[in-house]
Structure 1
């Protein structure tokens, strides 16, 4: 009798578990009694997303935004656009008030700063879950902080290469640059290409147009001579190291020795790229996006690019600049989810190919890089893409990059214009930058 009672009790227990949708071990039943299996064809949940576009569609391709909206009709997307300056001024107030867009982009260094202040969402878990690293170049992690967290996704990569005027080299019977050129090779050719073509005692053709800024100017010259700007931790200034001084001296000597036009000449010309486009300079370090300007204003110019020259020790440094997308940490969970869907779409081959064909920046998706437009100058786009692959570096970006760079730049300008010596200028920069770094620890 007791055995029969126990048997009945066991049957009742099993039936009760089944009715609750549980198996005997407590796991979900494969076919719960009285319930229907999830409908795989059910429409995706509706989400809201606000995208901020500084610079509007002059900076971000409208086709990409439209493509995302068409592909994800369940995500009610609002686009907020404004001129770059207006947007970046207003965003500070919006961040403080918690009303910023769910996703927007700014300079990579700014994004790193946002990350350190808890404004930008850590994207590391998203990337680990949904992306395959081998499908992207290393620039995907341009917004990776020293703590290993990734706070942004590249809007696009803007690297530097050596641009040269083909006709000027041909007319001077000088072999055109190659990817094997060193800085010494470049300087040797620049000296030969610097001329007084009017025979009036004034140089009107320069071999090289130097930049006063960081990315195309003093940074690559510093690094190419074995110097450093900041140490690996990005907390210690390295400006007064002997190799750093040597590199900046070589950069300042371009003007001192008459190989590059001075600041007044460049200002009158409209900048280094305009001096190059007008045939007043045979070479300059060109950022990728500048091709759009040159091809528009100097359509007849016959020019091309090679990778950045190698330093004295045979190594190459290719500075690259990127704006990066961030997800606002205070956005609603469903909006963060929608923002990540947008970033996945932005990183897809479909969207990255649109970016590649725009000429404004290099995509980070490897297949899309093969679709760069090689039918327009500069035709050797590999000077940029392979340059990144071999030696791409950011300009020592950290959360205080904007602050320390602005503290240093006036002294670089004074060195470029020969107002102060390189030794004096680098000493001042060392003190100013280290002070900024210490205040931001």
Structure 2
């Protein structure tokens, strides 16, 4: 295979030269913006193999087109690399967009609106993707990116601790109230020194509980927030109770490895990496554990709360049709998406047959039904320019409210005013 990885100055030359220079030789160049390794801070064994294979399939179908990318950009540096390209006017034709940059880029006009392409293309439709995946590429109500790879959130369950306590392992459909009750029963002072040393849960925050209730806190335009609500009050009261059964977040890994915590949110990427199957990376091996759905209130529209990597088209690209075809190869190409499922630490964005997904996950410690139920969540996630940062601000302030003894109604009013001011600043 012809080398696709270029040095930074070669990529910049392709970007600045544009289409006209490329057509002098009868060939055209598409510049792809990608990162190296896993975006979710777990071991990734095939950083470029899947990318190169997808490029090879695209180039075989487009013999006069070369796809190039700069290699070696780690995820921690990729955000700055993208920001620099926006400032310098050298945005790649097609590029991967992390969650925390998506709303900002869409609002600034960096991304091309893909609605016209989806309407006109019989080979690619929103319905081809899992609903949660399709939502990850929406800004307000339009599609500004196609989903490439997903990272659902699961709940790690220490089965051994539950069996020792004579408690039933939770299944799909367990409620937040049932979750809190289990955490209470599993929090113990095992060495009798007056301090708990086994906990019900670790790393589960106020925002997790709010999502379990399907709360829609922000207005669609991103200028308002609603906290003066009975469900918000209920969530905060329940979370105050849960805090007594929660381990120190800074000790998450230690508590999990020592088998001294019953529950912990765990990303799909972490699950497939540290589960003995299929990656054989030894961790959490001294006890029996599985992953299940996060608890949630029944009959509510629950939003997908995991992470995603989406692929977007530059608003300034001169090669829209080619860029669209390249995006389709990555995001709706069956071979590429199947490889993501089978050979990476991410979950594919494209709908896969139940038999194929079940076969891959067989004996893995999580069921295909669990993954499908998460990926089929249809609660709308209407993202605006400051969506991610607003969620972080809200989570931080509500954690403080829950931890304080301040009058709850007054605290909610003050927090609502504070977040609203942030949104409108």
Structure 1, unaligned runs of 5 or more: 1-44, 212-216
Change (3 A) 1:88 1:225: closer
Is 1:364 the equivalent of 2:349?
A: yes
* Conservation of the 8 A alpha-carbon contact between 1:179 and 1:307: yes
Summarize deviations over 1:54-98 as a string: whole Å, max 9, x none: 3x1334852321112322333312122412232212322321221
Which of 265, 268, 290 matches 1:285?
265
Which of 143, 150, 171 matches 1:157?
150
How far did 1:327 drift? 1.1
SS of equivalent residue, structure 2 residue 312: strand
Structure 2, unaligned runs of 5 or more: 1-25, 40-45, 276-280
Summarize deviations over 1:342-392 as a string: whole Å, max 9, x none: 211112111111111245222121126733631464332432322231455
* Conservation of the 8 A alpha-carbon contact between 2:214 and 2:302: no
Q: Equivalents in 1 of 2:391, 2:245: separation in Å? A: 26
* Conservation of the 8 A alpha-carbon contact between 1:162 and 1:283: yes
Q: Equivalents in 1 of 2:139, 2:302: separation in Å? A: 24
How many residues in Structure 1 have an aligned counterpart in Structure 2? 377
Q: Equivalents in 2 of 1:118, 1:343: separation in Å? A: 19
**Alignment correspondent of 1:50:** 31
Q: Equivalents in 2 of 1:162, 1:359: separation in Å? A: 20
How far did 1:108 drift? 3.2
SS of equivalent residue, structure 2 residue 261: coil
**Alignment correspondent of 1:145:** 139
**Alignment correspondent of 2:66:** 76
Is 1:345 the equivalent of 2:329?
A: yes
SS of equivalent residue, structure 1 residue 323: strand
Q: Equivalents in 1 of 2:158, 2:344: separation in Å? A: 19
Q: Equivalents in 1 of 2:407, 2:198: separation in Å? A: 26
How far did 1:233 drift? 4.6
TM-score computed with the length of structure 1 as normaliser: 0.76
* Conservation of the 8 A alpha-carbon contact between 1:277 and 1:294: no
* Conservation of the 8 A alpha-carbon contact between 1:411 and 1:428: no
**Looking at both structures, which has the greater relative contact order when contacts are Cα pairs under 8 Å and sequence separation is at least 6?**
2
Is 1:95 the equivalent of 2:80?
A: no
SS of equivalent residue, structure 1 residue 282: strand
Q: Equivalents in 2 of 1:364, 1:149: separation in Å? A: 18
Q: Equivalents in 1 of 2:52, 2:193: separation in Å? A: 57
Provide the aligned C-alpha RMSD in A: 2.8
SS of equivalent residue, structure 1 residue 49: strand
TM-score computed with the length of structure 2 as normaliser: 0.79
Q: Equivalents in 1 of 2:142, 2:378: separation in Å? A: 22
Choose 199-208 or 300-309, whichever is displaced more.
300-309
Q: Equivalents in 2 of 1:290, 1:392: separation in Å? A: 24
How far did 1:422 drift? 5.2
